Structure 1
Amino acid sequence: MKLAFDIALRFLKSSKAQTALIVLGIAIGVSVQIFIGSLITGLQKSLVDKTVGSAAQITVSPKEDGNFILAPQAKIKTIKAASPDEIIHPVAVIQGPAIVKTADQSTTIVMRGFDWDAAQGIYKLTDRLVKGKLGTNENDVILGEDLSENLGVKIGDTIEMLTPSGKTGNFLVTGFFDLQVKSLNESWILTNAGTAQAFLETGEGVSQIEMQVSDVFAADEVAMLVEQRLKDNTLVVSNWKAENEALLSGLSGQTASSLMIQVFVLISVVLGIASVLAISVVQKSRQIGILKAMGMHNLKASLVFLSQGFLLGILGAFVGIGLGIGLSWSFATFVTNPDGSSLVPFYIDWHFIGISAGIAIAASTLAALIPAIRVSKLDPMEVIKNG
């Protein structure tokens, strides 16, 4: 084995230009795989983060409209027990429709109330406040910045709200938020749990329990565990995957197209290596013939070219990793949105990179099988005779 490896290394060193060409071909293939894989993964993560990253991914709510979830903290404890490692940021939410009245106009909104600290995990409201502060006192509220502009409301103003049941209340505006979703910024008014329960008349109950999961793509599986754990026919457990089939279809299409591109790149690399090494067999046939005439077995002669393929794969993989990461970083740095932020965030998945490198090495070694088989069939005397 060592002899075959040493001869393979000598052959590679004796044809530096050819070796560099093969390494470059493998490197380009690996870099394209890494770049496309990182690009698609980064795009998917960015898309998922913007759509469901700051929203509830699993929601537990009453089956019948108008009902409420009683003893919410006990329910949250039961829910957490369904999957302690996956379920994160559970929060009890009180919500309901209302009409906001100002001196000039009125509009329909959704009032949502919760414990600010518990809601921070999902909505990150302290980071989303563009002005003012969270309202901790009774009848303090914060508005979406688009809603505040539509109503002409400023911090410190008092707004009047009316529920469908006819209850009215006056509320102090303490801040404006931006959830980066225009429809929510135009329709949500947020407040603390006590204010929402009193105004919407839910008593000690809540409208729903929201939560996120560690792996967003496992939301449907975790939702099933939650439903089994609760064993409550009066509650419904929904998840973002069931409600966003179009988004999931698009993500699946991106993944499939990425895999197809990577497969074709890999095939082209394998064919290129096999053809170049086949030419190398012709170039080195005299040396191989002499070695076989001196007693080298067919297996060891074949191992020479398999070792070449393995070495070329390693070199190409390492160079390709560097090129791929460089391409991904360049794209994330120089391709930006109008506001200067990256169009697709720079993302490195070392697990994926390791798999890409491993596939390149395996493919390069397998590509050397063709010339290796050809070498094993060489007649040493015929090769020496024909020079």
Structure 2
Amino acid sequence: MLFNKKGSLIGAILAVTIGILVIHVNFVIFQGLFDAIVRDLTDYRFGNVYVTDEEDFIDKSDLSLVGWFERIPYVDAAAPRLSSSASINSTKTGEKIEEFRVPVVGVDPLRDIRVSTIHETVDDGQYVFSRNSIVLGSDVARDLGGLKVGDNIKIKIVNRIDEDSLKRFIVTGISKSPGGQGLDTSVLIHIDTLRDMMGRPGETGSIMVKLNDSTKSEEVRDLFIRSFPNDDFKAETLEEVAEESLRGFRSGIAMINMIGLFGMFSSAFAVVTIQMMLVSSKTREIGVMRSIGAKRKDILVIFLIQGMLIGALGASVGTAVGLGYTYYAKETKMQWEGSIPLEVNYNWPNIIQTAIMSFSLAVTAAIYPAYRATKLLPVEAMRSV
């Protein structure tokens, strides 16, 4: 008898559903973006463990360090890298174009493709494969007059004794990554070529380590530090090496989640309003029930059950729609034009917690209207209609 206001009940269920959906959408977009940034930092720049020298360049053999890491069961591969900056000039249609302080990354072509996915961003040409080949980031290629594969460029690097080191390269590839998270503003050359130009034979700037289980990164880091106590090595997990940028993004996610929670509380307020409307519209029925012997607790139970029904249906529908949206985003690797493809995962603890919270809020929101219904006296209830 108290459940025939279908429009009001559907409205209350939709309010709960929308509250849950807002949280799911926020999580997919913002957490997915955060995870995508972590993914690209891991795959392009740092790996799961990043080793440098606290004072200068690593002078220990990169082959021995890579071999040490690859003996650990958790390690898939390791690779050395070396970085510098250079002046680059090219000639297009008879005009000389020069760019300064361009980041240069030296890579070991055979090992780097096992640790990093930066080679997969080369969509024109191929990755570094010889001592005189160079891969240009898409921004560098554009700034140098729209260079293409097969063009020649000249690079100038100041070596360790402050002398200019010049070398000509053939462009063998152009690298472009979604959202510019790769090395779009850099150039890549063979690490041995960069060592020669910098006057640092046998030295390395960093070691990237890729794990088959990212949860073991701290364990591998600590094991490495303990194994080389007399060296000045600095080993960091991705969370440590990119701490500042990731911390700022986490703060943004926390704020967005807070907005989502306010949306859920707004849904609870809508449930209270609708329940109060139902109580008002059912004044006569409540009076009839009280006059035939229904107790206050019976009225209370009816409206609480109604709140539980709204909460259960709203949580179920909202969670189902949210999971459908998450599935779509995950399968399509959702991205906007030129943006980073989102890294979407099912966070089951978060999903379950959201459903339980929405159900609890809906039930809690039904308590006051139910209490108001129990306070109606039979005579007054019958007289009010």
Distance 2:355 2:377 in 1: 36
Structure 1 stretches lacking a partner, 5+ long: 1-9
Determine if contact 1:22/1:312 at 8 Å carries over to the other structure.
yes
The question of 1:368 aligning with 2:366 is answered yes
Q: 5 Å matches for 1:1-387?
A: 11-12=2-3, 14-49=4-39, 54-57=44-47, 58-70=49-61, 71-77=64-70, 80=72, 84=74, 90-95=78-83, 110-125=104-119, 127-137=120-130, 139-145=131-137, 147=140, 150=144, 155=150, 163-164=159-160, 173=170, 175-180=172-177, 181=180, 184-185=183-184, 187-191=186-190, 206-211=204-209, 222-223=217-218, 226-227=221-222, 229-231=224-226, 232=229, 233-242=231-240, 244=242, 246-288=244-286, 290-291=288-289, 298-321=296-319, 340-341=337-338, 345=342, 347=344, 349=346, 351=348, 352-377=350-375, 383=381
Cα RMSD, aligned residues only: 4.6
Using a 3 Å threshold, how does the CA distance of structure 1 residues 314 and 68 change in structure 2: closer, same or farther? same
Question: Matches of 2:204 and 2:362 in 1, distance apart?
Answer: 61
1: CA distance, partners of 2:123 / 2:167: 23
Q: Which moved more, 1:201-210 or 1:58-67?
A: 201-210
CA contact (8 A) 1:314 1:361 kept: yes
| TM-score under structure 2 length normalisation | 0.71
Q: Any conservation in 2 of the 1:93–1:210 contact (CA below 8 Å)?
A: yes
Q: Give unpaired runs (5+ residues) of structure 2.
A: none
- Shift in Å at residue 67 of structure 1? 3.9
> 1:236-290 CA distances to partner (integer Å, 9 max, x unpaired)?
1245545555533531332232123122222222122123223323443554455
Using the TM superposition, give the Cα deviation of residue 47 of structure 1 relative to its aligned residue in structure 2, in angstroms: 4.6
Paired amino acid for 1:362: S
State how far apart, in whole Å, the 1-side matches of 2:317 and 2:182 are: 47
Percent identical residues: 17
1:155 is paired with a residue of what secondary structure? coil
> As a proportion of its length, which structure holds more helix?
1
Q: CA deviation at 1:169?
A: 8.6
SS at match of 2:266: helix
User: Given that residues 197 and 204 in structure 1 are in contact (C-alpha distance below 8 angstroms), is that contact kept between their aligned partners in structure 2?
Assistant: yes
- Counterpart of 1:76, as a letter, is F
1:269–1:381 CA distance, 2 compared to 1 (3 A): same
Once the two structures are superposed, residues 181-201 of structure 1 have per-residue CA deviations (whole angstroms, 9 ceiling, x without a partner) of 59945543322x666667767
Determine if contact 1:31/1:322 at 8 Å carries over to the other structure: no
Q: Check conservation: 1:305, 1:372, Cα contact below 8 A.
A: yes
TM-score normalised by the chain length of structure 1: 0.70
> Secondary structure at 1:143's aligned position in 2?
strand
Change beyond 3 A, Cα 1:102–1:341:
closer
2:2 alignment partner, SS class: helix
Amino acid at match of 1:359: M
Residue-by-residue CA offset, 1:104-155 (whole Å, 9 max, x unaligned):
7986663513243543442330x22243333445x24323155566397863
Give the AA of the match of 1:38. V
SS in 2 for 1:236: strand
* Structure 2 CA distance for partners of 1:77 and 1:307, relative to 1, 3 Å: same
Alpha-carbon separation, structure 2, partners of 1:308 and 1:195: 74
Q: Deviations over 1:42-100 (max 9, x none)?
A: 3434455566652215421122324423311343147x56xx3xx66532335566777
- Amino acid paired to 2:108: F
CA distances 1:275-308 after superposition (whole Å, capped 9, x unpaired):
3223323443554455566665654442222211
| Letter paired with 1:69 | K
Distance 2:256 2:270 in 1: 21
Contact kept in structure 1, 2:115 and 2:208, CA below 8 Å: no
Bigger mean CA offset, 36-45 vs 94-103: 94-103
Q: 1:88 to 1:371 in 2, by over 3 A?
A: farther
- Alpha carbons of structure 1 residues 54 and 187: separation in structure 2 relative to 1, 3 Å: closer
CA shift in 2, pair 1:326/1:344, >3 Å: farther
Secondary structure of 1:11's counterpart equals: coil
Contact 1:241–1:248 (Cα < 8 Å) also in 2: yes
Aligned pair in 2 of structure 1 residues 305, 121: CA closer, same or farther (>3 Å)?
farther
